[in-house]
């Protein structure tokens, strides 16, 4: 196998001048490895680069002990029902904030465009947001942010899982929502282009679900694709695809959205990225 460096980040553990290097993997024949989804994604994004696509991804994850039990949960039984944990504060509501903030600082040092973090609906579940990033940079940044998350958790003796449903029962799952805009949607009157993109997504719902109930709703947290309230007010901005799971491949998701929403002649049968 061949490793081809594609971008570098500052190393928050060994510090400067050490670097963390993200690579693409190729076969000895120089064909992209089966797991190399970045290569095909980059080709598609090059085709739509004049649209200057921006992406932001909201990565949810769950902290676990090394035994696989949710971090901070009672050894026997369960914590109190969901309700007070989302964006909560207090030792009985927020489990693992020191881990989360160490990850946030590591991302800032590395040069990741991390822009926020919050406690999620299920106890021990958290989220961080990366972006906006233009083009292929979104996938690069999220993969490195995930690497840093696992590396920070290692120092604390805990695990981070991207499992979309780590706990059965009445406990929230974990997703990786993606926010999308182009030069057209960001301009005055861009809402028309947003609605066109959502209609294209509706027609290819099954194909998108395969790689990551397409209803464009204003400020609707239950919708598959959401138009934020301020975007509806300003008539321009971005839309949010809420379908990708927490363990999605960001390159595959970005590529699928670019093919469906941004390529003018996306004919039937044209494969989404995989």
Structure-block tokens of residue 192: 């028309």
C-alpha span between 169 and 156 (Å, rounded): 28
Peptide bond into 17 cis (omega under 30): yes
Structure-block tokens of residue 169: 């029962």
Instruction: State residue 116's pLDDT score.
Output: 96
Domain 2-175+244-262 has CATH 3.30.590.10: yes
How does pLDDT run along the chain (274 residues), one tens digit per residue? 999 999 999 999 999 999 999 999 999 999 999 999 999 999 999 999 999 999 999 999 999 999 999 999 998 889 999 999 999 999 999 999 999 999 999 999 999 999 999 999 999 999 999 999 999 999 999 999 999 999 999 999 999 999 999 999 999 999 999 999 999 999 999 999 999 999 999 898 888 888 873 344 565 666 789 999 999 999 999 999 999 999 999 999 999 999 999 997 554 444 556 5
Instruction: State residue 215's pLDDT score.
Output: 46
Q: Rounded to two decimals, what is the model's pTM?
A: 0.92
Q: What are the structural domain ranges in the chain?
A: 2-175+244-262
> In whole numbers, what is the pLDDT of the chain averaged over residues?
92
Instruction: State residue 268's pLDDT score.
Output: 44
Residue pLDDT, tens place only, 225-255: 999 999 999 999 999 999 999 999 999 999 9
Instruction: State residue 26's pLDDT score.
Output: 97
C-alpha span between 65 and 157 (Å, rounded): 7
C-alpha span between 193 and 130 (Å, rounded): 24
């Amino acid at each position: 196998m061949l490793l081809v460096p594609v971008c570098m980040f500052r190393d928050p553990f060994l510090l400067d001048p050490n670097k963390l290097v993200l690579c693409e993997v190729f076969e000895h024949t120089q064909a992209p490895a089966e797991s190399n989804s970045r290569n095909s994604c980059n080709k598609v994004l090059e085709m739509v680069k004049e649209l200057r696509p921006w992406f932001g991804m909201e990565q949810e994850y769950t902290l676990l002990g090394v035994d696989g039990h949710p971090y901070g949960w009672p050894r026997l039984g369960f914590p109190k029902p969901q309700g007070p944990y989302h964006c909560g504060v207090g030792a009985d509501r927020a489990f693992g904030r020191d881990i989360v903030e160490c990850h946030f600082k590591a991302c800032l040092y590395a040069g990741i465009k991390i822009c926020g973090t919050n406690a999620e609906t299920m106890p021990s579940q958290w989220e961080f947001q990366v972006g906006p990033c233009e083009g292929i940079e979104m996938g690069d940044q999220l993969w490195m942010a995930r690497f840093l998350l696992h590396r920070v958790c290692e120092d604390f003796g805990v695990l981070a899982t991207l499992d979309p449903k780590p706990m059965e029962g009445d406990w929230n799952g974990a997703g990786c929502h993606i926010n999308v805009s182009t030069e057209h949607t960001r301009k005055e009157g861009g809402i028309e282009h947003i609605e066109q993109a959502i209609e294209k997504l509706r027609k290819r719902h099954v194909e998108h679900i395969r790689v990551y109930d397409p209803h464009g709703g204003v400020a609707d947290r239950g919708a598959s694709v959401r138009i934020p309230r301020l975007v509806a007010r300003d008539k321009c901005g971005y839309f949010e695809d809420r379908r990708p799971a927490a363990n999605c491949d960001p390159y595959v998701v970005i590529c699928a959205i670019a093919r469906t929403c941004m390529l003018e002649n996306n004919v039937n049968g044209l494969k989404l990225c995989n």
